[in-house]
Structure 1
Amino acid sequence: MASTNGITVRSARAEERPEVIRLQDMGFGMRGSPADAEFGPQVFDIERALVAVDGDRLVGHANDRVMTVTVPGGNTVQASGVTGVVVTPTHRRRGILRALYTELHRRIESEGQPLTIFYASEGAIYGRFGYGPSIAEVDVSIQGRTAEFRSTTPDPGGVRVASLTEAELALPEIYDRWRRLTPGAQDRPEARWRQRVFAESIQHQDGAVQFFLIHPDGYVILRRAWADNKNTATVHELRAVTAEAHVALWRVLLSMDLVHTVEANLSDNDPLPYLVTDPRLVRVTGRHDTLWTRVMDVPAALTARSYQQDLDVVLSVDDPFRNAGGVFALRVRDGVAECERTDRTPDLELGIDVLGSLYFGTYRARVYAAANRIQAKDPAVLRAFDEAFTGDRDAELGWFF
């Protein structure tokens, strides 16, 4: 496809999968599980992968999958979910990542997808390619059986401990209802359920035993492990379609016997701290991004989602990597947007990476303006833009890829 500095970028071949796996193991410093080997090729097809080749050696790799992603307001868009981006340490700073990304994004453009999303293993690299962090979560730790629920917190009940067979039947349907309500969440292929949740090799992994809690409108996947005579329950995934399911599941999690610590990831505005009498017991131990987004087609992306208030604004969007930038008139009425290129004078100037960060409603325009990442002529326009891009439900990543 392309050649630079003696390196050729081309499509991967099926027989190269073992070498791709070795390249990723080295790049990410971890080995995949037997379930990864069995089901991984069904999730990310090797025939969509790109590789960088130096002679007869693979020295770089990138792949993607077309995903259906929910956007603010409950609509969905097609997005390219990028994964496995790696360059061997022997070939750093030779333009391999840029060459891989150039070919990958050229294909994404030809397919007409308005967004590209992925999890960034490093935070300083991908802004140059137009990506910005767009979803975040907080890590929390709660000492077991110390949190007391407020008298006003309901006790809906309805939770049961489920077998693997029951979970295989119930979880995908509940997840699908949840992801249709949740900005940032993607459809999840059956092979990914097998690979990361239901495979036998996952049930007892790294000394932890996996369990399932199921409510008609929600579920928890948790793992319990003993170390130094203390038991930790780690919430691998909690999905609640309704507020009642959320409360019911947390009531069970915080009442389990012989659990010294419950660890979980929450969205920024999860109500858990306010359901208990002492919110300090829901101790925040960290906050990190879970998804990065690049807008590939500004009008298509901005008209796909809804908005919290009416808006008339002209945006100047700078794209340092591709040709998606320009000046755009964005008009919103009753949550519905129209967007087109214009020659009008812009009200706001921002990078396409910042637009990606704002897209799902987690990050705020006023904060980027304070960091001089958005230039606004009129503070009132900035306030309206900031409010319009918020959502009525926190964005969450559906599944890690």
Structure 2
Amino acid sequence: MASTNGVTVRSARADERAEIVRLSEVCFGMRLGPADLEYVGQVFPIERALVAVDGDRIVGHTNDRTMTVTVPGARTVQACGVTSVVVAPTHRRRGILRALYTEQHRRTEAERVPLTIFTASEGTIYGRFGYGPSIVANEISVRGRTAEFRPTTPDPGGVQVASLDEAKVRLPEIYDRWRRLVPGAQARPEGRWQQRFFADAVQNEESSPQFFLIHPDGYAILRRAWHEDKNIATVREVRAVTAEAHAALWRILLSLDLVHTVEATLSDHDPLPYLVTNPRLVRVTGRHDALWTRIMDIPAALTARTYQRDLDLVLSVDDPFRDAGGSFALRVRDGVAECARTDRTPDLELGIDVLGSLYFGGYRAKVFAAANRIQAKDAAVLRAFDEAFTAERDAELGWFF
């Protein structure tokens, strides 16, 4: 395939799996256990992998799979989910990442997939390739058994403690109903469920096995661990199809005996702080980007989702990496969009990375405009564009990859 500075980018071979794993472990600073290795092979088969080779050594790697992702309006679109992007520490600053990404995106374009998404380990690298952060996650902490629920907070009940065997049967069906409603959430493959259940179902030196709480319309997965004589309940997932399921699960999670602190991850507008009498108890301890998105085909991507108001304007989109940019007429009526290339004068200008950030409704156009990353013809155009791209539900990542 491609060659740069003596390094060749090509498809990976099956017999190179061990060397790829070794490189990934060095770059990410962690060892992969047997269950993780099996999961990687199932969900991201080596047949999709690309490697950068210097002589007889692998010095770079990337892999992907096609994912079904929900977009605003409870619709779905196909996306290329990229994972395990690494370059050997011995081969920095040689253009290897750009060569890998050039081939990766050329292949995605050939397959006519309108989006590329991934979870990034660093925030300074991928903007130059046209990616923008598109989902926000907030890490929160609540002191155990201190939160009192407001008198108006529903107490629907219906939560049960479930065994591992019950969880294997019931959680995938609940998750699938949830992800069909939530922008950014992906269909979860069987291999990822297997890793979630089998790799994390046992007690280790640091924490308990996983515990499962199940409501007919939601579930929670948690672990408990002792740190410095304090018991911490780490909620690994809360998935609630309805507001009633959300309230029922959090009533249980915030009343666990012998728990000093409950830790979890919430979206920006999760109702938990407003269910309790003292919202300060739901402390945000961290905030990070959970997903990055690049638009590969602007008309296909923009017509796949719905919008919150009518629009009729021309976008000028700058793409510094590929050829997806240009001027596009975007017309929305009753939430449904038409989009096509045009030579009309643009009403609004932005980078393709900003368009990726706006796509799931997790970021606001007016904030990018305040940062001079969107230039609009006038305030009315910006206001209409900003309102149209919002979503009824917060964008959330379905599963980490």
Report the TM-score, using the length of structure 2 for normalisation: 0.99
Match in the other structure for 2:320: 320
- Match status 1:368 vs 2:368: yes
Structure 1 309/235 Cα, relative in aligned 2: closer, same or farther at 3 Å?
A: same
Residue 207 of structure 1 is matched in structure 2 by 206
Shift of 1:92: 0.2
Opposite residue 285 of structure 1, the aligned amino acid is: T
Q: What's the counterpart of residue 30 of structure 1? A: 30
- Write the distance in 2 (CA, Å) between the matches of 1:389 and 1:306: 8
Per-residue deviation, residues 84-123 of structure 1 (Å, max 9, x unmatched): 0000000000000000000000000000000000011111
User: 1:203: how far off?
Assistant: 2.6
Structure 1, gaps ≥5 residues long? none
Deviation at residue 228 of structure 1 after TM alignment: 1.7
- Determine the structure 1 residue equivalent to 2:117: 117
Maintained 8 Å contact 2:314/2:327: yes
- Give the whole-Å Cα distance in 1 for the aligned partners of 2:97 and 2:375: 30
Do 2:36 and 2:199's aligned partners in 1 also have CA atoms closer than 8 Å? no
Letter in 1 for 2:264: A
The aligned residue for residue 343 of structure 1 is 343
Name structure 2 gaps, 5 residues minimum: none
Is 1:142 aligned with 2:142? yes
For the pair 1:393 / 2:393, whether they are aligned, the reply is yes
8 A contact 2:79–2:115 mirrored in 1: yes
The aligned amino acid for 1:204 is Q
- Higher mean Cα deviation, 197-206 or 178-187? 197-206
Are the aligned partners of 2:328 and 2:340 in contact in 1 as well (CA < 8 Å)? yes
User: CA offsets per residue over residues 333-352 of structure 1, 9 Å max, x none?
Assistant: 00000000000000111000
| CA–CA distance in structure 2, aligned partners of residues 161 and 295 of structure 1 | 42
Contact 2:139 2:284 in 1 (8 A): yes
Q: How far is the alpha carbon of 1:176 from its aligned partner?
A: 0.3
User: Where has structure 1 moved over 6 Å in runs of 4 or more?
Assistant: none
Deviation, structure 1 residue 207: 1.9
Deviation at 1:201, TM superposition (A): 5.2
CA spacing shift, 1:91–1:257, aligned 2, 3 Å: same
Rounded to whole Å, the distance in 2 between the matches of 1:354 and 1:189 is 29
Are 1:198 and 2:161 an aligned pair?
no
Tell me if structure 2 keeps the 8 A contact 1:35–1:201. Answer: no
1:278–1:310 CA distance, 2 compared to 1 (3 A): same
Q: What SS does the corresponding residue of 2:303 show, helix, strand or coil?
A: helix
- Sequence identity percentage: 78
Aligned-pair RMSD on alpha carbons?
Answer: 0.8
Q: Which residue of the partner structure matches residue 184 of structure 1?
A: 184
Partner of 2:61: 61
Tell me the secondary structure at the aligned position of residue 304 of structure 1: coil
Report the Cα distance in structure 1 between the residues aligned to 2:190 and 2:204, rounded to whole angstroms.
21
Structure 1 residues 185 and 360: alpha-carbon distance in aligned structure 2, compared to 1, 3 A threshold: same
Question: Does the aligned pair in 2 maintain the 1:231–1:261 contact within 8 Å?
Answer: yes
Change (3 A) 1:159 1:92: same
SS of 1:208 mapped into structure 2: coil
Correspondence list, 1:148-297, <5 A: 148-195=148-195, 197-200=196-199, 202-209=201-208, 210-297=210-297
SS in 1 for 2:390: coil
Structure 1 distance, partners of 2:53, 2:230, is 49
The total of aligned residue pairs comes to 400
